[in-house]
């Protein structure tokens, strides 16, 4: 699609704002009013923008309000979780158009369902798939596929449902969740923090200066690779720390401590935490010990990053029963660091993936042209080119 540079800049601002008048577009894009008028006419002709109504100003004069047009299209975000697949379809202004949830084996069917729910004729601009794997970035900063076999088979099974010819970008799921917490969750207003996910596995999303840190190998935050155990009698094992802190080990340690008088031993972490919440002594002890283990991991992250804030997420990490123990162990071993629970829960990954997909979709229309907003305009350019209005 061939658009003038001014039209691409105005489109980027309009996508960030959702709706705006021509004077507002001119102010944010730092373009003259005649240039914006010409750019808007160009976007309307291409059905990338459309007038959605009028608004009266303080002087009583009316101004046309513009939003994205039908040709702006949509994007798709897919969270290939360890047990659940979550999919969202969004417009390029971030509006949620369709969503679906299913089991891990049903990933392709969930994708097909959401694609059918998108507006008829709306071009699909970009797809972001979040996976629990290290992502190797290509020359343009987009992962072509998971870097190892860890998420490869599920990715391939899901990919058969994706329409051909649409750019697919792959991102680590913990990084997506961290991005969501930065803009819509527990880390709003903080540009440096760590997002620590504890569930079946473990992972750390590192945000510094509003940017997700990926590292030279795309493996920044892979805390599963921290040497463990690390003492004179035992050799560290590959991903030994993840094995020690993951959900399976939690349940195994709880089973070892369980007594006949305690009743049926819980087979899931959810049941163990439910019992702890009811005051079950053995369950509370198991949860408390697990909180201390997570606190030691948080202390290791704080020692390296000094993030000031750690957000606990994941199927286990987000449980508020862990907070007191994590905070106490972190305070014992490291310097002051705030610890809070995720505000988005299990939806965080797909929310972050959708945000990245919107950014990628805008780039396909604008060719990477970015608006240069004035500081007082209320707009900010953030991670991945996504713009949000404060």
Determine the average pLDDT of the residues in 220-224: 94
pLDDT over threshold 90, residue 117:
yes
Q: Mark whether 154 and 214 lie in a shared domain.
A: no
pLDDT over threshold 90, residue 388:
no
Determine the average pLDDT of the residues in 367-376: 52
Q: Which of 148-157, 179-188, 296-305 comes out lowest in average pLDDT?
A: 148-157
Mean pLDDT of the chain: 89
- Contact at 8 Å (CB) between 30 and 38? no
- Is residue 303 included in any domain, yes or no? yes
Q: Which positions ≥6 away from 17 have C-beta within 8 Å? A: 24, 25, 28, 93, 379, 389
What span, in angstroms and rounded, lies between the C-alpha atoms of 351 and 247?
24
pLDDT over threshold 50, residue 262:
yes
pLDDT tens, position by position, 145-169: 555 545 667 788 888 899 999 999 9
What span, in angstroms and rounded, lies between the C-alpha atoms of 373 and 18?
15
- Is residue 37 included in any domain, yes or no? yes
In 60-74, which positions are buried (b, 16+ CB within 10 angstroms) versus exposed (e)?
A: eeeeeebbbbebbbb
Q: Mark whether 265 and 304 lie in a shared domain.
A: yes
Q: Mark whether 195 and 144 lie in a shared domain.
A: no
- Is residue 247 included in any domain, yes or no? yes
| 193-198/202-208 β-pairing | antiparallel
CA dihedral (134, 135, 136, 142) in degrees, to 10, reads -170
Cα 266 to chain centroid distance, Å, stands at 31
Question: pLDDT category, 379, cuts 50, 70, 90?
Answer: very low
Question: pLDDT category, 380, cuts 50, 70, 90?
Answer: very low
Tell me which DSSP letter residue 226 carries: S
Q: Which of 18-32, 262-276, 357-371 comes out lowest in average pLDDT?
A: 357-371
pLDDT of residue 383: 32
What span, in angstroms and rounded, lies between the C-alpha atoms of 365 and 1?
7
pLDDT over threshold 70, residue 258:
yes
- Contact at 8 Å (CB) between 56 and 62? yes
| 124-131/168-172 β-pairing | parallel
Structural domains of the chain, count = 3
Q: Which positions ≥6 away from 295 have C-beta within 8 Å? A: 325, 326, 327, 328, 329, 330, 332, 333
Question: pLDDT category, 374, cuts 50, 70, 90?
Answer: very low
Q: Mark whether 204 and 291 lie in a shared domain.
A: yes
Q: Mark whether 64 and 95 lie in a shared domain.
A: no
Q: Mark whether 194 and 321 lie in a shared domain.
A: yes
CATH number (domain holding residue 14): 1.10.10.10
- Is residue 294 included in any domain, yes or no? yes
Looking at the chain, the whole-number percentage of residues with pLDDT higher than 90 is 77
Q: Which of 100-109, 248-257, 362-371 comes out lowest in average pLDDT?
A: 362-371
Q: Mark whether 199 and 134 lie in a shared domain.
A: no
pLDDT tens, position by position, 5-63: 999 999 999 999 999 999 999 999 999 999 999 999 999 999 999 998 888 766 667 88
pLDDT of residue 55: 87
Q: Mark whether 102 and 248 lie in a shared domain.
A: no
pLDDT over threshold 90, residue 136:
no
Determine the average pLDDT of the residues in 108-137: 91
Determine the average pLDDT of the residues in 306-331: 97
pLDDT of residue 138: 55
- Is residue 119 included in any domain, yes or no? yes
pLDDT over threshold 50, residue 373:
no
What span, in angstroms and rounded, lies between the C-alpha atoms of 93 and 358?
7
Read off φ and ψ for residue 307, nearest 5 degrees: -75, -15
- Is residue 122 included in any domain, yes or no? yes
Determine the average pLDDT of the residues in 94-105: 95
Q: Mark whether 261 and 304 lie in a shared domain.
A: yes
- Is residue 328 included in any domain, yes or no? yes
pLDDT of residue 58: 63
pLDDT of residue 1: 64
What is the domain extent for residue 153? 73-178+347-361
Of the candidates 71, 91, 126, which is a domain's last residue?
71
Q: Mark whether 249 and 161 lie in a shared domain.
A: no
Of the candidates 21, 47, 71, which is a domain's last residue?
71
- Is residue 383 included in any domain, yes or no? no
Q: Mark whether 193 and 298 lie in a shared domain.
A: yes
Looking at the chain, the whole-number percentage of residues with pLDDT higher than 70 is 88
pLDDT over threshold 60, residue 386:
no
Q: Mark whether 293 and 211 lie in a shared domain.
A: yes
CATH number (domain holding residue 154): 3.30.420.40
- Contact at 8 Å (CB) between 266 and 280? no
Read off φ and ψ for residue 83, nearest 5 degrees: -130, -30
């Amino acid at each position: 699609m061939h658009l003038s540079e001014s039209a691409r800049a105005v489109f980027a601002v309009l996508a960030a704002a959702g709706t705006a008048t021509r004077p507002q577009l001119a102010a944010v894009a730092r373009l003259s009013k005649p240039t914006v008028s010409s750019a808007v006419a160009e976007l309307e002709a291409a059905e990338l923008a459309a007038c959605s109504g009028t608004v009266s100003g303080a002087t009583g004069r009316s101004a046309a309000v513009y939003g994205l047009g039908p040709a702006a299209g949509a994007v798709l975000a897919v969270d290939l979780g360890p047990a659940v697949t979550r999919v969202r379809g969004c417009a390029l202004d971030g509006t949620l158009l369709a969503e679906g949830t299913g089991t891990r084996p049903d990933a392709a069917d969930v994708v097909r369902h959401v694609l059918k729910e998108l507006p008829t004729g709306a071009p699909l601009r970009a797809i972001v798939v979040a996976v629990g794997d290290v992502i190797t970035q290509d020359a343009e900063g987009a992962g072509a596929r998971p870097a190892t076999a860890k998420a490869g088979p599920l990715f391939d099974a899901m990919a058969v449902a994706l329409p051909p010819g649409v750019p697919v970008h792959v991102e680590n799921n913990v990084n997506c969740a961290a991005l969501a917490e930065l803009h819509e969750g527990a880390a709003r207003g903080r540009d440096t923090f760590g997002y620590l996910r504890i569930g079946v596995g473990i992972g750390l999303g590192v945000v510094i200066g509003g940017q997700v840190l990926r590292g030279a190998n795309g493996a920044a935050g892979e805390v599963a690779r921290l040497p463990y155990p690390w003492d004179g009698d035992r050799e560290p094992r590959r991903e030994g720390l993840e094995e020690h802190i993951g959900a399976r080990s939690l349940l195994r340690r709880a089973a070892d401590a369980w007594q006949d008088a305690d009743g049926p031993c819980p087979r899931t972490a959810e049941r163990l935490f439910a019992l702890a919440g009811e005051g079950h002594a053995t369950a509370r002890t198991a949860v408390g010990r697990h909180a201390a283990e997570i606190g030691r991991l948080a202390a290791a992250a704080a020692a390296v990053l000094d993030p000031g804030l750690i957000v606990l997420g994941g199927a286990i990490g987000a449980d508020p029963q862990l907070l007191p123990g994590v905070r106490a162990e972190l305070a014992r071993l490291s310097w002051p660091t705030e610890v809070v629970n995720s505000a988005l829960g299990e939806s965080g990954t797909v929310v972050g993936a959708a945000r990245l997909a919107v950014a990628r979709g805008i780039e396909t229309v604008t060719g990477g042209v970015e608006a240069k907003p004035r500081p007082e305009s209320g707009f900010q350019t953030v991670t991945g080119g996504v713009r949000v209005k404060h």
